[in-house]
Structure 1
Amino acid sequence: MWVKGEIIQRVDWNDKLFSLKIKAPIAPYIAGQFIKLSQLKEDKRVARAYSIVNAPGDDFIEVLAVAVEDGQLSPQLQSLSIGDTIDVSPKASGFMTLDEIPQGELQGKHLWLLSTGTAVGPFISMLLTPEPWERFEKVVLVYGVRLAVDLAYINIIQQLQQQYPEQFCFVPIVTRESYDGALNCRIPQAIDSGLLQKQLQLDINPQDSQVMICGNPGMIADAQNTLEELGLTKNLRRAPGQITVEKYW
């Protein structure tokens, strides 16, 4: 089942990276969840999952996507203009939400959000809600990209820095060029070397830290291994831990 969505705004961050705001009658969702976008292509339905970037309660949904040259859907999405329509799943899904993070004594004081590329989307949604700021003393967003032009939503991130100057820490990571204020290595290496923790003057340990990781499978696997070497464990409902992950493909 699908509902009809209308493109009401778009932003092109670079020649491949873009955001779409879509007016669609979907059910209420939780920050961090995803919806599916779909089109009929030669009588065959093509559908792909995209995380919702905006906070729950808005009268639209926003997605961040990158056009892949041989992709089955993303080039068509990139060609959409205001007023065009796209099929949308009527209900969001996914467990990459703050609801899945242990509460009380098991929660810890610091929330680390580790992302690469378009996987920053669900974290932006979370950061636009009151929950992380009410639950954690420090909230850290680590955002890894290849090139500086791949950094999206910097305007929102800067607004959050102004709104929560003592609570919010932002670390951009740009791996293929030098960029002012950014680390120049992969996220797992930044943790393993201690460079990330040193820059923030924050330790990552099982007592204080909850770490959510969203991005490409290689980054997730390496970051999880590095965190496990620091004593953190994967967060499961039957066995609460400190690491929550979602692969982006």
Structure 2
Amino acid sequence: MNGADGMIWDPGIYGRFRGLRLRPALDLLRSLPSLPEGPVVDLGCGAGAVSEALRATLGKDRQLVGVDASAEMLADARGRNDDLVQADIATWQPETPPALIFSNAALQWLGDHEVLLPRLAATLTPGGVLAVQMPHQNDAPSHRTWLHLAHQLFGVEPDDVPGILEPAAYHHILAPLGEVQLWETTYFQVLAPSDDGHPVRRFTEATFARPLLRSLDPERRAALIAACDAAMAGAYPASEDGSVLFPFQRLFFTVRV
């Protein structure tokens, strides 16, 4: 997690849905083209959830470097990587050209992808790969509801909500850089029943809604969460056992330079 907004990332809260958040990373890992020799960088590594899979797939002989701005997340990641670097992933530069920069659900927190992605690709060793997965869910009720209610209740319009470009824009950015693969997947996730609010609200409050909740005082935060629980119940009705089927769309790409 980038942590550039200054808010502490809680590995426990983020990890409530660890399995669901990990699956897209594994799908991206299985879609990698062949790699040259060189280190592997997990950019925005968080607590190191993908480290074991990276090692198992790419071999234990490769140097594995985790990069993240959150000291709390890196403390959880300790021992899962050969090296850990605390840095803002928007400006980070590798000491050695990597064979792979792998970024799972992190770059959506950053803007200026037209500049960021070519810069990251330029740091790779020849034949190296930039592999990225990001949520593409902002137009769905799970995400749009937070912003609509914040505006309706309090007139709040946060300007630091994570988001990404449309797929065609990424193809335009990446095609001049090398060999591109670009795709989207919708995951139909079953969220377990919760005694602490609607499962979709709980899933999104730890990630997408963090900047918005951070901007509110405790009273307004509680009011927004209550309103969001009610709205999510209409958009994502619970089954008889209290579980919820939650479609979640993600965008993937790899580019080999």
What TM-score does the superposition give when structure 2 sets the normalisation length? 0.34
More strand by percentage? 1
With CA pairs under 8 Å and 6+ residues apart, which has the higher RCO, 1 or 2? 2
More helix by percentage? 2
